[in-house]
Chains A and B, each alone.
Chain A
Amino acid sequence: MRIARIHGRQRSFAPLAPVLLALALALWQTAPAWSADADLPAVATSPAALSAPTAPAAPATTSASPAPGATGATPAPASAPAGADAATPADPTAPAADGSTRALDEQIQDIKQQVVDLNKDLFVLEEELLFPANTQVAVFISMDVGEFFGLDSVTLKIDNKEVSNYLYTPREVAALAKGGVQRLYVGNLRAGAHELVALFGGKGPNERDYRRGASIKFEKGVGAKYLELKISDRARKAQPEFEIRDWE
C-alpha cells in the first residue's frame, strides 16, 4: 500500500519537470552576477586585475608594504620600479590580504580556545563517567614530617585487594613536605562497609628501614567518600605517626 502511494507521488511530479529545469537554467545564468557581489579579493573580480598580467601584481604587493615609499624608489626591490605603475590597481589587495589574514588568525585563536574548552569538558566528563559520585572513593595523602620519617612508598589495599602502589621520588616528598596534598587513588566502591589498609615504607629514625601500616573501616554511602592518609612527627616519642581520616 505504502509503495503504491510513493509511486503516486512520483507520477504527480512528472509534469513539473520542465518547469523545474527552466528554473535551474535561469538560476545558473544569473550566478556570475551574484559572485561579483560576494566578498572576494579585488584581484579575482575587477576587470583591470583580470586583464593585467600577473607579473606586475607581485612587485605591487612588495611596494605596497612600505606604503609611504610606494613610488618604486630605492627602498623597494629591483623589480619594483617596473611594477610601480601597476601598483595602483593592485593596491586594494594589500588591505584585503591583511584583513583576511587577521580573520584567519582570529579563527585559529577561536579554534584553539574551543579545543582547550573541549579538553576541559572531556576531562570533567571522564571523571564523572568513570567515577560517578555515588560510587566514588578517593584517598589523599598529606605529610607533616621533618626528621623522623623519609617516605618512600605507599601501598593501599581496599577489602584486602591491592589498589595502589606508589613510589615517591625526592621531588615528590619535598612537595608533600611543603604542604602539598596528593590524590593517591580514586576508584569505585559499592555502598556498604569496607576496609582500607595503608602500608607506608621509608626510612625511619637513624636511617633504618621503616614499615608501618594503618587501617580504617568506613561506610560507603550514596555520595563520594574521601579519605586522607596523614603522616606527622610525634616529637614526644621521636617516632612518626600514621593515621587515616574520613572527610565527612
Chain B
Amino acid sequence: MIRRFGRISLLLALLAALQPAALADAQPGSAAPDFALPAASGGNVRLSEYRGDVVLLAFWSSRCARCVTQLTALDDLQTTYRSAGLVTLAVSVDDDLTRATRFAKSHPARFPLLLDRRKGVSRAYGIERLPTTVLIDRRGRVHSIQPDFRGIDNSYVAQLRALLDDPL
C-alpha cells in the first residue's frame, strides 16, 4: 500500500515536472513568455521571431494619458537604436478594439501596435499598472520590468545599451 502510494506520488511529481511551460508570470531572468498578437496595421506578430534582437515590450491603453508620452518617447528610442537591433512592440490592453485601432492610426509609430484583446499576454507578464515596459535580451530572457514607466532616463538608456552590446 505504501509502495503503491509512493509510486503514484513519484509519477505525479514526474508528470507535474514534465508539464509544458504554459504562459506564466514573467520575472527578470526567466524566459519571456512567447505570444502572437494581431497588429493594428494588419498581420500578426510573434515575439519569438525576434530572438537575437533586443525587444522592448510596452503595454499601453488609449485611456492612459501617460501612455501617449511613453509611445512618443519610445518612438524616438526606436529610431535611434533600430540599427543596433532594438525592436519595440507596443501591446494594447484596450477592451474596445475599435478605440485602440483609432488611437493607433492617430498616433503613428515606427513600431507595431499590437492588440491583446483576450488579455492573455498582459496576464502572462503580470501587468498591473500602465504604462509598463519590459526589456527582453537577445536570448529571449526578461531583463527588467519597469512598471509605471515615467520616461527614458540615463539609467534606462544605459540598461538598453548594455543589452544591445551583448553579442549573443
Binding site for B on A (CB under 8 A): 122, 125-126, 129-130, 152-153, 166-172
Contacts and interface: CB of A to CB of B under 8 A. Distances in A.
A152 B42 CA distance: 10
Interface of B: 14-15, 18-20, 36-38, 43-46, 49
Contact of B38 (A125, A167, A171): A167
Given A167-B36, A169-B36, A125 B43 contact: no
5 contacts: A122-B18, A129-B14, A129-B15, A130-B19, A167-B37
Do most interface residues of chain A lie in helix, strand or loop, or is the interface mixed? helix
A168 B18 contact: no
Given A122-B18, A169-B46, 11 more contacts: A126-B20, A130-B15, A153-B44, A166-B36, A167-B36, A167-B37, A167-B38, A167-B44, A169-B43, A169-B45, A171-B49
Contacts of B18: 122, 125-126, 129-130
Contacts of A166: 36
Contacts of B46: 167, 169, 172
Contacts of A129: 14-15, 18
A126 B19 CA distance: 8
B44 A169 contact: yes
B41 to A, nearest CB: 13
Contacts of A126: 18, 20
A167 B120 CA distance: 14
Nearest to A166: B36
B144 to A, nearest CB: 26
B8 to A, nearest CB: 14
Of B14, B20, B44, B45, chain A has the most CB atoms within 10 Å of the CB of B44
A130 B106 CA distance: 48
Nearest to B15: A129
A65 B36 CA distance: 56
Contacts of A122: 18
A208 to B, nearest CB: 13
Contacts of A169: 36, 43-46, 49
Contacts of A152: 43-44
List 6 A-B pairs, minimum CB-CB distance, nearest first.
A167-B36, A167-B44, A126-B18, A169-B46, A169-B44, A129-B18
Nearest to B48: A169
B7 to A, nearest CB: 14
A182 to B, nearest CB: 13
Contacts of A167: 36-38, 44, 46
A168 B44 CA distance: 6
A155 B53 CA distance: 30
Contacts of B20: 126, 130
A185 B15 CA distance: 20
A130 B46 CA distance: 26
A172 B44 CA distance: 10
B38 to A, nearest CB: 7
A153 B37 CA distance: 11
A130 B43 CA distance: 33
Contacts of A168: 44
B132 to A, nearest CB: 23
Nearest to B38: A167
A167 B44 CA distance: 7
